[in-house]
Amino acid sequence: MKLCRYGKPGYEKPGMIDGEGKLRDLSKIVDNIGPNEISPRGLKMLTRLKPESLPLVNGTPRYGVPYVGIGKFVAIGLNYSDHAKEAGLPIPAEPIVFMKATTCISGPNDDVIQPKNSSKLDWEVELGVVIGTTARYVDEASALNHVAGYCIVNDVSERSFQMATTQWDKGKGFDTAGPVGPWLVTTDEISDPQTLDMKLEANEKTMQSGNTRTMVFDVAKLISHVSQYMTLLPGDVIATGTPPGVGLGMKPPLFLKPGDVMRLTIAGLGEQKQRVVAYSA
């Protein structure tokens, strides 16, 4: 099941994608897509629906963040061994956990605004894991039972900000640094999150091409690890790291500038496309 929200910012309606990839309106069934709707009970109710029975949405409306209620935006660094290598850093002995500010979250096709004083704007295609059931001190064997579904995340990064201190949040949490969506795809469609091809293009040139099977720490391990010291609540999202091919790893490094366009895909999760624009007051 593919859930989404569509419409103008602040006025998004709930939607569902049918078997032909067409957008259907869910607003007569639920008011929104949020923690209640992505809970096991909520998803069970929604799975009873036949998407083809819902009203078809005409045109090409904007997709927003696919659900509301993201209380925590947890991210994992250097979780692909070849990405760690291109960054000149050792493969982590345990997951590197940092937080992206929830104010950085934006729709999958909204503009990415280059922040003031930015000189090293970069891209990172990542698998997002959406929590549907509270996870606290869970073991790896049961960790995936706490997942509502998956989505694409672009962990947009400003490398000069990021490397200014040992804490990465500064370079990862600026406004529009977290495009999420277009869909939340439930676990009935993504039974194994460790088999997904992923790709990012910048200006129609492939920069990143990888597969989630090469994660250092798989999704179950990440959920279990984070839950040992941080309660994960319904709606929380974990960005699980990026494969090689970021701009920082190029020789010479290549960074984004206004006018550049990123296109991100992960198998079964749809597509994002963002244009970089300069900050303006």
Per-residue pLDDT of 27-85, as tens digits, reads 999 999 999 999 999 999 999 999 999 999 999 999 999 999 999 999 999 999 877 77
Strands 184-186 and 2-6: antiparallel
User: Any idea which of 25-39, 87-101, 103-117 has the lowest mean pLDDT?
Assistant: 87-101
Candidates 266, 238, 229; CA nearest to 152 is 266
Locate all alpha helices (DSSP H) within the chain, ordered by sequence: 40-47, 81-86, 140-143, 159-162, 169-172, 219-227
So what's the pLDDT on residue 261? 98
Q: Is 21's pLDDT higher than 80?
A: yes
pLDDT at 90: 84
**CA gap 262, 256 in Å, rounded:** 9
Mean pLDDT of 262-280: 98
More reliable by pLDDT, 89 or 3 = 3
Amino acid at 1: M
- Mean pLDDT within 106-130: 98
Whether 91 shows a pLDDT value over 80: the answer reads: yes
Residue 184, pLDDT > 90, answer yes
Q: Which of 4-8, 82-86, 128-132 has the lowest mean pLDDT?
A: 82-86
pLDDT of residue 86: 79
% of the chain exceeding 70 in pLDDT: 100
Read off the pLDDT of residues 134-177 as tens digits, 9 standing for 90 and up: 999 999 999 999 999 999 999 999 999 999 988 899 999 999 99
CB neighbour list of residue 254: distance below 8 Å, 6 or more residues apart: 202, 247
What 8-state DSSP symbol labels residue 129? E
Write down the pLDDT at residue 84. Answer: 77
| pLDDT tens for each residue of 214-234 | 999 999 999 999 999 999 999
Average pLDDT of the chain?
Answer: 96
228 CB neighbour count, 10 Å cutoff: 11
Closest CA to 149 of 39, 277, 249: 39
- Supply the pLDDT for residue 85: 78
pLDDT at 82: 78
166 or 264: whose pLDDT is higher? Answer: 264
Return d(Cα 209, Cα 121) in angstroms, integer. Answer: 19
